[in-house]
Amino acid sequence: MSITGVTNTVDTTGSSSTTGSTTTTQLLDTDAFMNMLVTQLKYQDPLDPMETNEFMSQLAQLTQVERLQNIYDSMANLETTIETGNLLDMIGKKISVDGNTLSEGDEFTVTPSADYDKVVFSIKNLTDESVQEVTRNKGESLTYINEGTDNVQVTAQAYLSGAAVDSTAAAFRIVRGVKSTDSSVVLVAGNGDEYTASSVTTIKN
């Protein structure tokens, strides 16, 4: 009985094809390979059964596919382990992130683009919705640190003689933990917000 050869390539996308040459390659994992082999045995011609060497060849290909899949899985696990180990060193450090939500210990820094005489921070408590203002005069620190236990949202405005001055702001959040997801490893802030390592541009001790 003639047996069709099966590729032993492992591909996580399932299949690949090329247009123009009308050539299509279906890539199989071990389960699909075994199902195909059982189907061949089930429907083989009883007058022309599979030769022993053909059957052994199919089993050898199955073993190759399984080994390649195991190698791929091991490499993926190793990559996740290395990434997790690197990110664990960031726990307790502050990272620059988009947004203006602060948990305990996080900070919000303002940089006026021109001369100013004061900066007014507006802090909204996300638990009781209360709002307070904190004024920093020129020469004082323009970084607000959330020393409370409640999460807050912070905005700020710089002024010169009562006129608004353009400014930029940056939020820095403390990394409280590291979490592994199905697709990557992420950093976790105090309120549970998650950030990928690629989104981090600045790290502070």
Express each pLDDT in 47-79 by its tens digit.
766 666 666 676 677 677 677 666 655 555 545
Quick: pLDDT tens for 135-184: 999 999 999 999 999 999 999 999 999 999 999 999 999 999 888 777 67
In a domain, 7, yes or no: no
Q: Do 74 and 102 lie in a common domain?
A: no
Q: Where are the beta strands (DSSP E) in the chain?
A: 15-18, 23-26, 94-97, 101-102, 107-112, 118-125, 131-137, 143-145, 152-160, 163-165, 167-174, 177-180, 185-188, 194-196, 203-204
pLDDT digits (tens, 9 = 90+) for 180-201: 777 677 888 988 888 887 777 7
- The answer as to whether 164 is a domain residue is yes
How close are the terminal C-alpha atoms of the chain, in Å?
A: 70
* Residue finishing a domain among 61, 88, 115: 88
Q: Which range marks the domain in which residue 186 is found?
A: 94-204
Number of domains into which the chain is organized: 2
Q: Rounded mean pLDDT of the chain?
A: 77
Q: Tell whether the model's pLDDT for residue 85 goes beyond 90.
A: no
Domain's final residue, options 88, 106, 130: 88
**Model confidence band, residue 83 (pLDDT cutoffs 50, 70, 90):** low
CATH number at residue 197: 2.60.40
Mean of pLDDT values over 29-56: 69
- Cα–Cα distance measured from residue 106 to residue 148, given in angstroms and rounded to the nearest whole number: 10
Residue 8: inside a domain, yes or no?
Answer: no
> Would you say residue 80 has pLDDT above 80?
no
73 lies in some domain: yes
In a domain, 134, yes or no: yes
* β-strand partners of 121: 134, 156
Pairing mode, strands 152-160 and 101-102: antiparallel
- pLDDT at residue 31 is higher than 80: no
The answer to whether residue 152 is domain-embedded is: yes
Q: Give the HSE-up count for residue 140: Cα atoms under 13 Å, Cβ half-sphere.
A: 12
Residues 26, 84 within the same domain:
yes
Residue 1 lies in a domain: no
More confident residue, 5 or 103: 103
> CB-based contacts of 120: which residues, under 8 Å, 6+ apart?
133, 134, 135, 136, 156, 157, 159
Top-confidence residue, 173 or 205: 173
